[in-house]
Amino acid sequence: MSDAKTDQNAATENPQPEAASSPAPPPIDPTQTHQVAEFKHDKALTTCRIDPAGRFVFAGAEDSNVYRWELATGEKTVLVGHESWVRSLDFSPDGERLYTAGWDGQLRWWVANAIQPESFRVVQAHHGFARWVQTSPCGKLLATCGNDKFVRVWDVATGTQLVEMTGHRRHPYAVAFHPTDGTLVSEDLMGEVFVWDPRKSRRVATIDASIMTGYDNKFAADMGGARDMCFSANGTTLACAGITNVVNSFAGQQDPIIVLIDWASQKITHHLQAKEKSTGIMWGIRFHPNGFLVGAVAKQNGRGELLFWKREDAPVAKPPAAGNGTVAQVAASEKPIELKSFHALQLDKCARGIDFTPDARRIAIAHNDGSVRVYEMAANKPAAAEKTAEQAPA
């Protein structure tokens, strides 16, 4: 007993040092964005997404497969099944399921975190390309669009088609569910943005985003449409990424652009462009929780660019008071703000798609050279201080 008390007293008088706590990560700073990882493939990639748990990055490739890399280890897994390129990926809210839409017209279901994922459900979603898939906020529905000009809604649990909506005169390129109000949007080749009420299977509004299209005289073809589309988390703003000022689209002679649409008024409020003029295609757009926006570009010269914007850098002008101002003044007040990026990171290769990790500290970019590169939007962590052993007294 006395020995036990002695040991207890010694422990109380000489407590063991507490384990050193991990230093806080550097604050998010877009101007310090730098590459931290790279995952390689031998074919050009078409898109990429990070699962909601932040364990994997998935990418479509120009060999018709989908590839999965574990972010922590780089372990690579191939998902085989599509018969053409996969252009769009999305997940169930819990990250357990992966949904893929391919240019074979197929919509496929996968177990995202299986050791070797295999598709357990396939539907022929569209005749021709199935260009996009997105999961509804509740996780019970999937929306797709395709070259047959239809927008369709599917039951996740059974794969049954629930809704079919038509009205686009040209191919719709992307769809997005509003986070809260139950509506669905789609944008087509000519920059027409349709707002749908899937519950009533009808279109309720049309937004003119025709700045995102143009006619290529050399190839006698229309070029345009949304290469990416997403809502802000609170649903107040819709962002559409693509091209404008088309000269020769096949040669990359057009300008990358993002349009921001105010959801309450359903009017375009901003045109987002690079601070330094460059030609190419805006392939990706994301809203960051810290209030800035991030876009990814495939440039005409074969390289890429990661761009950052702050909307507060260009406040929307107030319109003239009722009954005041000329027609020109009123029209000018409604003109979208031209907002230039406050920072740009040059990329070695063209960007083909982007996504954030769940903590929004890192961004994955799919490239046309077959690589997914991961970038951290913060300064490098300071090197750990070297511990110097104390010298024993002589």
Q: Give me the residue spans of the domains in the chain.
A: 28-376
pLDDT of residue 181: 96
Confidence band for 249, pLDDT divided at 50, 70 and 90:
confident
Q: Which residue has the tokens 């890192």?
A: 362
CB 208 within 8 A of CB 191: yes
Give the chain's mean pLDDT.
88
pLDDT of residue 313: 65
Q: How many CA atoms lie within 13 A of 130 on its CB side?
A: 27
The percentage of residues in the chain with a pLDDT greater than 90, rounded to a whole number, is 79
- Tens of pLDDT, residue by residue over 327-379, are 443 344 579 999 999 999 999 999 999 999 999 999 999 999 999 999 999 99
Class of domain 28-376: mainly beta
- Tens of pLDDT, residue by residue over 33-57, are 999 999 999 999 999 999 999 999 9
Mean pLDDT of 184-193: 97
pLDDT of residue 314: 54
Give the Cα separation of 38 and 157 in Å (integer). Answer: 35
pLDDT of residue 394: 34
Nearest to 342 by CA among 374, 373, 308: 308
Mean pLDDT of 289-300: 96
Confidence band for 3, pLDDT divided at 50, 70 and 90:
very low
This prediction's pTM = 0.87
Nearest to 68 by CA among 45, 94, 36, 35: 45
Residue 393 Cα distances to 262, 390, angstroms: 71, 9
**Residue 115 tokens, joined:** 């050791």
The burial class, CB within 10 Å (0-12 / 13-18 / 19+), for 170 is middle
Give the Cα separation of 86 and 50 in Å (integer). Answer: 15
Nearest to 242 by CA among 262, 259, 263: 259
- Give the other-Cβ count within 10 Å of 56's Cβ: 21
Which residue type sits at 235? Answer: G
pLDDT of residue 334: 77
